[in-house]
Amino acid sequence: MPKYALYPGCSLETGGIEYGMSTHAVAHALGIELVEVPDWNCCGASSAHMTDHLLSLALPARVLANAETIPGVTEMVAPCAACHNRFAAVEYEVGKNEELHSKINSMLEVPYTGKVKLRYYLDIFSNPETLAEIKKQVKHPLTGLKVACYYGCLFVKPPKATNFVDDPENPMAMDNLMSAIGAEPLLWPYKTECCGASLGATKEDACTKLCNDILRVAKDSGADCIVAACPLCQSNLDMRQVAVEKKYGLQYRLPIPFFTQLIGLALGLDSKALGFKKLFVDPAKVLQKVGAA
């Protein structure tokens, strides 16, 4: 049974609660064991790296150090792309700089050794073995559902620091997953365009414009929904969609489910347990496709 340390981050229990719910439900169904990192703290994204370089590395390093205390675990996943990126920064920057490494460790109670490696969250499902397992277990293929896979920026950019886990301009892990569950991933150009991230909290107008671009291109590409892999992107596109529509006088009504929710649906898991009711834009269209509405 594959076993990973899980870093839920601050959003998997709050704004992205449906991502957390569906993550656990799908992992359970596929026999993947996820062990929550003991006493984890916030990774600091993205306020810490705008403010203090050492702080921006020491906060996530404490999490990785705590993950190292879980017996039998060699890899950690962070479903939030912004968190993932901070752990990637630790591995990239601290891993190649001994002086920095000992400085960081002097700030921590439990030393960070680097023995637990960061794993690209999508890849624990899209690797060949698990993908085959998902195909085998599909009960309700999402046939005919046109999906725009939206990875956000920070899982794959910058590729040097994120270790080239997927193509930074045209990632495919989520597309492969969507094909495996019978959906039709669209060829569309905004897979890794920025949603505005925390600008939503500080410069709403700029964030609204960026979200509108993404929603418009997805709609024009013929998408029934945009599938997300990052709770911040998802929240910008889902919760702020009404504000976008109002500002631009358009109507999208595009549901923004997480990829784990759609996998769960195809596996025949209860839509309630997958948190579909937590989405702001009504996902009825998506649920009807598999007769789960």
Partner 1 sequence: MGELNLSQVLEKNRSFVDEFIEESGTDIRQCYQCAKCSGGCPGTFAMDYLPNQIIRMLMLGMKEEVLKSKTIWVCMGCSTCTTRCIRDIDVAHVMDALRKEAVKLGYTEHAKDVVTFNDAFLWTIRSWGRLFDAGMLMMSNIKSGNYTRNMQYALPMMLKGKSPLIPIPHGIKGTKEVKKIFRLSKQEGK
Task: Give the binding site for partner 1 (CB under 8 A).
Answer: 10, 14-15, 17, 39-42, 44, 46-55, 58-59, 62, 103, 106-109, 153-154, 157-159, 168-169, 192-194, 196-206, 209-210, 213, 239, 277-278, 280
Q: Which CB, 98 or 109, lies closer to partner 1?
A: 109
Q: What strands lie across the sheet with 184-185, from one edge to the other?
A: 184-185, 146-150, 225-228
Residues 252, 209 contacting (CB under 8 angstroms): no
Q: Running DSSP on this structure, what letter comes out for residue 230?
A: -
Q: Which CB, 92 or 221, lies closer to partner 1?
A: 92
Prior bond of 221 cis (ω within 30°): no
Q: Which CB, 153 or 254, lies closer to partner 1?
A: 153
Q: Which CB, 59 or 181, lies closer to partner 1?
A: 59
Residues 154, 230 contacting (CB under 8 angstroms): yes
Q: Which CB, 54 or 250, lies closer to partner 1?
A: 54
- Tokens 């703290």 belong to 41
For the chain, report the end-to-end CA distance as a whole number of angstroms. Answer: 33
Distance of CA 150 to the CA centre of its chain: 10
Q: Which CB, 196 or 255, lies closer to partner 1?
A: 196
d(CA 61, CA 79): 17
Residue 2 beta carbon to partner 1: minimum distance, rounded to whole angstroms: 27
Q: Which CB, 130 or 208, lies closer to partner 1?
A: 208
Among 57, 54, 161, 67, CA closest to 113: 67
Q: Which CB, 88 or 186, lies closer to partner 1?
A: 88
Residue 55 beta carbon to partner 1: minimum distance, rounded to whole angstroms: 4
Residue 182 beta carbon to partner 1: minimum distance, rounded to whole angstroms: 28
Residue 179 beta carbon to partner 1: minimum distance, rounded to whole angstroms: 25
Residues 45, 193 contacting (CB under 8 angstroms): no
Among 222, 101, 125, 138, CA closest to 176: 125
Residue 61 beta carbon to partner 1: minimum distance, rounded to whole angstroms: 9
d(CA 63, CA 91): 12
Residue 140 beta carbon to partner 1: minimum distance, rounded to whole angstroms: 25
3-state secondary structure of 293: coil
Residue 189 beta carbon to partner 1: minimum distance, rounded to whole angstroms: 12
* Burial of residue 291 (number of CB atoms within 10 Å: 0-12, 13-18, 19+): exposed
Residue 177 beta carbon to partner 1: minimum distance, rounded to whole angstroms: 23
